Structure 1
């Protein structure tokens, strides 16, 4: 698979992955949606811990103090419940200290036994004595004592609504007064079935009461608290709601609702014209925790009862009386801590309403959550397949950072809560998918590169290719290469003179050093056919000096053949001689073949010419024949002997061919003198001055009898004397054979 196709596949699969991640937000999927919700709740808790909501711009700076019935208070005052008279003293002392509102996060649902009745059971039935006890009973009645303490003071009592139990005890306060009539039964607000309320005698004397029922989320963590509840067609306010109403002297409230599926869903609770509290459809408010337990000032209850509370209670403060003692079961799991006092939860709610510092999940949040997921995931799905791994990681981190910064800004600046887990999960999964896809594609490409080129390309080049597989593919393309053909001369006779096994061993001994030489000079083996070796330079790895490397390899191959020839002769094997042809030109290179067999090879006219040049080596009596373009590309690296200007079969334009005599550093004056004489002889021959040409070639033949090329030209001169060339002859020679 080429990189372009791989990127397309990765993009398509990435988009599909984003769609699958978005599906649970559009429609619930059993097992998936709950799992994502759990992850989202976890991320919400981490955000709350890392960045508690800031206090609002309209910070009321109203002091909120918690009077704590803690372990130390229980040790001093005795086990819970305390006598009602002691609670009455606590209320009176707080009022005397200047508390603005006293909220009792305590349920007084059962009457306290009068000590007079206990004494009466152990005294004789004397009328006078019983009369005295009757007169004393009201004075010692704890409930009436507490009722007298509540009378005329700003005290808010607490009670509990039951979702399942139908039992009802005590007296509920007056329903929440609404400015506008509202069909409470039409609200999509779960109705309560029962309640445990304060004793009537206490409810009648207290300023008001509010429910303190707190229902955690499915994982047991309390993130939302109800501000409103309904029962018997009436609405009632929570402990926090009633405390704020009592503190601000608010008489009526107003609701904002939205009709969805023929039901009225709550959106906001308006406690006056300036205080709007956002709630969800179930009348709940996200608790904007200020911090861990202890974020509000605590005063131990025993200190209020035994010392002067004015030193610890600021004038006009809202005082919540509750408990942190573990045995009294008012400790909850919250995002801030697994053990969080329930009374401090109410303190956080009251502070949020007074400061107007809310956390809100707006009605458009689901659409925004889906949009963030689609935009973040979709962009990465489109972009990441086109990037390198490090850039993929950087882009993914940047996308995650933008999501974190955006949601954090909404959270801190506007109190808006949007999902973060799902978009981040999309970013992470898309990033992991693309990194994994890239790794697999790269590994597959490396494997294909090694499988394709391992036997044909030098190991160093294969390693270089595997380090950057994206730079290589198997598609056919045109580029200039140098092609080499090598053949053993007289191979037919050689094969006839040897047994098959001997021939195989001889060829193996021959091909091994030839292949090594080609590899050492960065060549690529194209194929072995019988005794023929075909190789090329410049692909699959670019090589600007492909022509030079090809000629270097050819010279070394001839030297290696000479060493093999000596070894073969010593072993009684036939002599071997090799002809090599090299040509450079634009060819098509790539993975070619059928669905049954394919190979990385080269095709083109330059390849055909290289093959014909190899066949010409025996004709010219030389070991290497090189084409004109190869000669141009090598520059001054070699010393050349021009062989001919020839028209080969299949080509109209004459081709100049050369023999590399040696490398430039090996050049000698004697060799240069020979080449100068050859140049003069060729000039005379090509100008049809046959007499001068014959004299020149005879001198060369005499001086260099081992060079068969000069005798070849003497034969041509003799032929031209018999058949003179035409007047427009350009000095080229036409060869009919390949």
Structure 2
């Protein structure tokens, strides 16, 4: 698969994933949508903790204090087990009134009447007895419920009650519904908010002497309290929450006004107006996100037993909004919240009151759902389309940038505007899944490409080149192309006679022992094995990995191969095996390289005139009595690295133009003055020979032969000069020698 096709498939797959995720965000996929909602709730909790205000910002900024009277475990130990006597509650309210409390709210349900002790005695007496008549006349003096009711009637007190969301059970007397201003008669019935099925309210005598507000709290699907209903609908009447009713009494408001919007034929609640400049931004169900201001006991607590004993700071109570509740574990008013897993329910109402007094709310208007969807969609599309075409580093940078933008924008809206936008959709789901998908796609594509490259080229090139190719897999394939390369042929001299002296197994073992180190040398110098043909090995440089120094590396490999052959031959001789010698030919030039062959068998190989010349040069090593011959272009490309001996200007079979051939003798660093002088003399001799100054040429070649009789080239040219002495060349002769054999 080509890189372009892979990227196109990754883009299309990413877009399909975005569509699926949008269905998840839209709650169209049951299981996944539920997981997404859980993720969103977890992210919401983390954001809530991150945005908690400073300690000095807990109480309302207008100077109003919110104080909690706590019926805690210590109070139960001092005052006795719950429920307490109504007379004790009378004492508690009177002490708060005496200290100047502004409004008192009870996060407690007084759903059962307290038995009158006088009535208990009367039930034990004869109704005709004098004592019965006397106690009957004064029994009202011992009616603690009535005494509590009288105290409530003389106080700014709000009694709590609860609504049932599912059970059609009723008990006690429900307070009067919330008075509404400028509201149509049928508006409440048209509101798109759930109707309560039942209630549990205080007993009639208490409800008749105090205002009421429900303390029911909404639980999300994970059982955590993140929002609270401000209004509840029952029998097409609206009832206020405890915190809302406390605020209404504190602000001395007779009625409130609702702001609604019509969506799909239903009236959806938008805001609750408390006066001209004060409104609560609820959702369509009348719920308000709870803007928690800290962990448990962020607000001041006064243990109930201390209040009853008079051991409390009256300045703390004066003018304050008082909420009476319980944090004792046995009284079951502990909640799981985003801040703590165990959080007093009474303090939830304190947080709501503080937010309303400060007018600092967390809002999720009706349009937020659409905004969340658009943000998630845009984020997903940007990543799905862009990521497949980027490098892993740029993928990481883009993903990180998208995440940073989303976090920055949503964080700023939360902190400055109180606007809560979703994060799980655009960030945790779209961002992470699309990014992870592309990383995984890229990983598997690279993994498969590496395996493919290994399968394709592992038999031809060294492992380090395969590793290098895997870093840019799109640049390599078996497709044919024309490129300047260097090709090498190496053949064992006298292989035919060698094979006649050995058995088939011995010959196979000998060749394996020879080819293994020779192949290692080629691999060490970045060469590609083309093929083995009997005793011949063919290799080339510059493909599949581009190598600007292909000529240099091919010659270095050839010289090392000659050295390795000497070492192997010495080992063979010590074992009684025949010694081996090789001839190597190298040529550089334009050649075709790629996967060639038939549908039955194919090979990654090179073709062209430059390849054929390399083969001719290898066979010419026997004629010139040397082990290594390179072509003119190879010498040009590696000129500065070696000391060169020009062997001939020759016309090989199949070539019209003469070519110069060379023998690389050693590296430049290894050049000695004697060798330098010899090569200068050789250049003079060759120049005289090709200019047909045969007398001068004979003198020079004779000097060279006398000084270096081991060099076959000098005696070879002396033989040519003898031949030309008998049969002079034509006048237009270009100085080349014609080779009629391979």
Q: Does 1:361 align with 2:364?
A: yes
> Any gaps of 5 or more consecutive residues in structure 2?
none
The answer to whether the aligner puts 1:373 opposite 2:376 as a matched pair is yes
Query: Do the aligned residues in 2 keep the contact of 1:525 with 1:534 (CA within 8 Å)?
Result: yes
Distance 1:83 1:57, change over 3 A: closer
Q: Which position in structure 1 is the counterpart of 2:350?
A: 347
Pairing 1:45-56 to 2, within 5 Å after superposition: 45-52=45-52
User: In the superposition, relative to structure 1, how do residues 273 and 478 fare at CA in structure 2: closer, same or farther (>3 Å)?
Assistant: farther
State how far apart, in whole Å, the 2-side matches of 1:390 and 1:372 are: 24
Aligned residue for 1:112, secondary structure, equals: coil
1:75 to 77, 102, 107: 77
> Partners in 1 of 2:204 and 2:575 — Cα distance?
124
Q: CA 1:470–1:51 in structure 2 vs 1: closer, same or farther (change >3 Å)?
A: farther
Q: Which of 217, 221, 224 matches 1:218?
A: 221
Tell me which residue corresponds to 2:231. 228
Counterparts in 2 of 1:727 and 1:374: CA distance versus 1, 3 Å: farther
Q: Aligned-pair distance for 1:247?
A: 0.7
Aligned to 2:181: 179
Is the aligned partner of 1:659 residue 2:660?
A: no
Q: Describe how 1:666-681 pairs up with structure 2 within 5 A.
A: 666-681=670-685
Equivalent residues of 1:24, 1:33 under 8 A apart? yes
Counterpart of 1:149 in structure 2 is 151
Deviation (angstroms), 1:668: 4.4
Q: Which of 256, 272, 281 is the equivalent residue of 1:253?
A: 256
* 1:304 is the counterpart of 2:311: no
Tell me the equivalent position of 1:196. 200
What displacement does 1:65 show?
0.9
2:183·2:258 contact (CA, 8 Å) conserved in 1? no
1:592 and 1:47 map into 2 onto residues whose CA distance is 63
Alpha-carbon distance, 1:504 to partner: 1.8
* Counterpart contact for 2:651–2:738, Cα < 8 Å: yes
Offset of residue 603 of structure 1: 4.1
Which aligned pairs between 1:394-473 and structure 2 lie closer than 5 A? Answer: 396-422=399-425, 423-448=427-452, 450-452=454-456, 454-458=458-462, 461-462=464-465, 465=468, 468=471, 473=476
Distance in 1 between residues matched to 2:127 and 2:148, nearest whole Å: 30
- More displaced, 599-608 or 382-391? 382-391
- Equivalent position to 2:516, from 512, 519, 522: 512
Pairwise CA distance, 1:530: 1.5
Q: How does 1:67-106 map to 2 (within 5 A)?
A: 67-106=69-108
Out of 531, 537, 540, the position equivalent to 2:535 is: 531
| Offset from partner CA, 1:84-115 (integer Å, 9 cap, x none) | 23222222221121111111222233333222
Structure 1 CA distance, aligned partners of 2:88 and 2:733?
Answer: 134
Which residues in structure 2 correspond to 1:601-616 (within 5 Å)?
601-616=605-620
The answer to whether the Cα contact below 8 Å between 1:299 and 1:312 also exists between their aligned partners in 2 is no
**Alignment partner of 1:158 out of 143, 160, 183:** 160
Change (3 A) 1:277 1:722: farther
Of 637, 646, 670, the match for 1:633: 637
Matching residue of 2:327: 324
The Cα shift of 1:341 comes to 1.8
| Greater Cα shift, 221-230 or 190-199 | 190-199
Are 1:279 and 2:302 counterparts? no
Structure 2 contact 87–144 (Cα < 8 Å) conserved: yes
CA contact (8 A) 2:685 2:696 kept: yes
Q: Which residue of 2 aligns with 1:241?
A: 244
Q: CA deviation at 1:169?
A: 3.4
Q: Deviations over 1:583-632 (max 9, x none)?
A: 22344555666676555444444333322222322333332111112212
- Whether the 8 Å contact between 1:481 and 1:587 is mirrored in structure 2 is yes
Following superposition, the deviation at residue 149 of structure 1 comes to 1.0
Distance (Å, rounded) in 2 between the aligned partners of 1:715 and 1:494: 31
Give 1:304 deviation, angstroms.
2.1
User: Which segment is superposed worse, 638-647 or 690-699?
Assistant: 690-699
How many angstroms does 1:277 deviate by? Answer: 0.9
**Quick check: 1:94–1:309 contact (8 Å CA) kept in 2?**
no
Matching residue of 1:59:
61
Q: How far apart are residue 262 of structure 1 and its match?
A: 2.2
Alpha carbons 2:59, 2:66 under 8 Å: kept: no
Give TM-score, length-normalised by structure 1: 0.89
| 1:391-435, Cα deviation, whole Å (9 max, x unpaired) | 655654554444333322222111111222232233333444444
The question of whether the paired residues in 2 share the 8 Å contact of 1:330 and 1:341 is answered with yes
Task: Report what 1:33 is aligned to.
Answer: 33
Cα RMSD, aligned residues only: 3.4
Distance in 2, matches of 1:437 and 1:368, equals 30
DSSP-derived class of the 1:359 partner: coil
- Secondary structure class of the residue paired with 2:248: helix
1:123 aligned onto 2:134: no
Q: Distance in 1 between matches of 2:613 and 2:302?
A: 102
Q: Secondary structure of the residue that 1:353 maps to in structure 2? A: helix
Tell me if 1:500 matches 2:533: no
Task: Please identify, of 563-572 and 179-188, the stretch whose mean Cα deviation from structure 2 is larger.
Answer: 563-572
CA shift at 1:692, angstroms? Answer: 4.6
Q: What does residue 490 of structure 2 align with?
A: 486
Secondary structure of 1:410's partner?
helix
**What is the DSSP-based 3-state SS (H/G/I as helix, E as strand, rest coil) of the residue aligned with 1:641?**
strand
Q: Hey, what's the Cα distance between the residues in 2 that align with 1:586 and 1:94?
A: 103
| DSSP 3-state at the match of 2:30 | coil
After superposing the two structures, state which structure 1 stretch, 381-390 or 424-433, moved more: 381-390
Residues 120, 512 of structure 1: alpha-carbon distance in 2 compared, 3 angstrom cutoff:
closer
Aligned with residue 649 of structure 2, among 645, 651, 656: 645
1:324-355 CA-partner distances (Å, limit 9, x unpaired): 22222222222222222222111111211111
- Separation in 2 of the partners of 1:213 and 1:556? 89
Shift of 1:359: 0.9
Give, in whole Å, the separation in 2 of the partners of 1:233 and 1:425: 40
Aligned pairs for 1:588-737 within 5 A: 588-589=592-593, 599-649=603-653, 651-690=655-694, 692-693=696-697, 696-697=700-701, 700=704, 704=708, 706-710=710-714, 712-713=716-717, 728-735=732-739
Runs of 5+ consecutive residues of structure 1 not aligned to the other structure: none
Is 2:571 aligned against 1:579?
A: no
Taking the aligned partners of 2:132 and 2:565, their CA distance within structure 1 comes to 137
Residues 415-462 of structure 1 show CA distances to partners (whole Å, capped at 9, x for unaligned) of 111222232233333444444444444444554555555554455x35
1:14-49 CA distance string (max 9 Å, x none): 444333322211342121111111121122122222
**Secondary structure class of the residue paired with 1:31:** helix
For the residues of structure 1 that align with 2:32 and 2:521, how far apart are their CA atoms?
Answer: 62
Asked if the contact 1:97/1:309 (under 8 Å) is kept, the reply is no
Q: 2: CA distance between counterparts of 1:558 and 1:195?
A: 101
Answer whether contact 2:652 2:658 (CA < 8 A) is retained: yes
Residue 284 of structure 1, CA deviation: 1.1
Q: 1:269 to 1:729 in 2, by over 3 A?
A: farther
